[in-house]
Amino acid sequence: MDVSNFSNWPKIIMHIDMNAFFASIEQRDDPLLSGKPVAITNGQKGSCIITCSYEARAFGIKTGMRFSEAKIKCPSLIKKSSNPKKYTKISSNIMGILRDVSPDIEIFSIDEAFLDLTNCRKIYASPVNVAYLIKDRILKSVNLPCSIGISGDKSTAKFAAKMRKPDGVTIINPRESESILANYSVKELCGVSNGIQSFLNYHGVFVCGDMKNIPISILASRFGNIGRKIWLMAQGKDIDTLKLNASPAKSIGHGKVTAPNLRNQYDIKKILHYMSEKVARRMRDNNFESNIFIIGIKIYKGWIHKRFKTEYHINHGRDIFKICLKAFKSILSVHGIYQVQVTAISPRPINIQKDFLLDDISKKKKLDHVVDSINRKFGDFRLQPARLLGKLDTPDVISPSWRPTGFKRSV
């Protein structure tokens, strides 16, 4: 393959797709399932197939089919209930590997991602090398197969990844995208529903090559932007850029200005508790936990910060509040305060496994889960620790670099 070809591609987009992801994981973990037709359902009672192994697909079994119906087509079909926690953990592992290859990543679903390699030309010899590097790393780390497509736009890269399944690498030179797509049904394009397909068929468009025979305005007036996008996709000219996923938050914090020279112990504790609950709540909303906290208190001389490391990663408000009290026990009884700040440093995605090991944490998580769902439904802090009852009349302080989502902008 002539590697130098890539240098004049305007854009280099890669699509990575894990093959029969959930089923492959189950086959990997249970030798009795290896090489057998396996269907994954939601729970033991689940009747609908959410995905199945390649061996099952050979019998014509598809996602969405009822298990009872599938069993008629393939009597040896094995039912396996899904294990979302396991899949999520493996998925974040894989996405971590991809993020190391290029920070320009769009996580498309639990088992699919796009990478934009346009800015990595000088780092890697060629996108083909990158593809095999990724496949090796994924295989080594989680022992699962994936298919990779490389082209000049998202839609064609996704189409390319589908061409060789499982375990393939397919390159479509952007200059050839239009002619390669031309003979494939429009249904092969991601986003073409049955409804859109019938509309296109009605207008004489069956394969992608037919698309240039109708004006873009026909699709635009019927389907708006999606219509325009499909018209371009069929000709290998998808203009969509990657929706870059925000890198993990560096810190999550909340602060509050207090009444000047506040000395009332009860009020001070209330404010610290309130900030702790807010930080904890935002970590939970984003599925984060942390084991490093910085608690700041401003007294007349200026800020005093204390850094605190906990034994386990936490995101429970009361645990953070306890840290605040521990950090400032001596100071609080001596000085009046002006402002407080509670910050969780380097929060990481929740480690689900730990829940099984630590019963105490598991109980707190259950409680937080119930409280969070009630508050989400009925309003912030509708359910709250008793200490926080009654109004706090000074404003919260949020630094300008916070995003509305609560993540600090990364550099």
Q: Which residues contact 228 (CB under 8 A, 6 or more apart)?
A: 216, 219, 220
Q: Which stretch binds Mg ion (CB under 5 A): 83-91, 105-113, 114-122, 315-323?
A: 105-113
CB neighbour class for 338 (10 Å; exposed up to 12, middle 13-18, buried from 19):
middle
Nearer to Mg ion, 18 or 211 (CB): 18
- The residue from 26, 55, 106, 112 that is catalytic is 112
Nearer to Mg ion, 189 or 275 (CB): 189
CA separation for the pair 363, 2 (Å, rounded)? 59
**Active-site residue flag, 69:** no
Residues 201-240 that bind Mg ion (CB under 5 A): none
CA separation for the pair 171, 228 (Å, rounded)? 25
Do 162 and 147 contact (CB within 8 A), yes or no?
yes
Q: Least distance (Å) from Mg ion to the CB of residue 371?
A: 36
- Name the nearest CA neighbour of 74 among 89, 60, 91, 92: 60
Number of residues near Mg ion (by CB under 5 A):
3
Q: Least distance (Å) from Mg ion to the CB of residue 48?
A: 18
Residues 3-22 that bind Mg ion (CB under 5 A): 17-18
Scanning the structure block, which residue is given the tokens 């589908």? 162
Q: Least distance (Å) from Mg ion to the CB of residue 111?
A: 4
Scanning the structure block, which residue is given the tokens 């529903």? 193
| DSSP for residue 10 | S
Nearer to Mg ion, 108 or 223 (CB): 108
Angle at 98 between CA 97 and CA 104, to 5 degrees: 140
How many angstroms separate the first and last alpha carbons of the chain? Answer: 37
Instruction: Kindly state the helix (H) or strand (E) to which residue 179 belongs, with its residue range.
Output: helix 174-181
CA 292 from centroid of its chain's CA atoms:
23
Q: Least distance (Å) from Mg ion to the CB of residue 180?
A: 21
Q: Least distance (Å) from Mg ion to the CB of residue 19?
A: 6
Residues 18-77 that bind Mg ion (CB under 5 A): 18
- Name the nearest CA neighbour of 62 among 54, 144, 42: 54
Q: Least distance (Å) from Mg ion to the CB of residue 131?
A: 16
Nearer to Mg ion, 26 or 111 (CB): 111
Nearer to Mg ion, 168 or 347 (CB): 168
Do 296 and 328 contact (CB within 8 A), yes or no?
no
- Name the nearest CA neighbour of 190 among 228, 159, 236, 146: 159
From candidates 26, 111, 238, 277, binder to Mg ion by CB under 5 A: 111
Nearer to Mg ion, 65 or 314 (CB): 65
How many residues are given for the chain? 411
* Positions marked catalytic: 112
Interacting residue ranges for Mg ion, rule: CB under 5 A: 17-18, 111
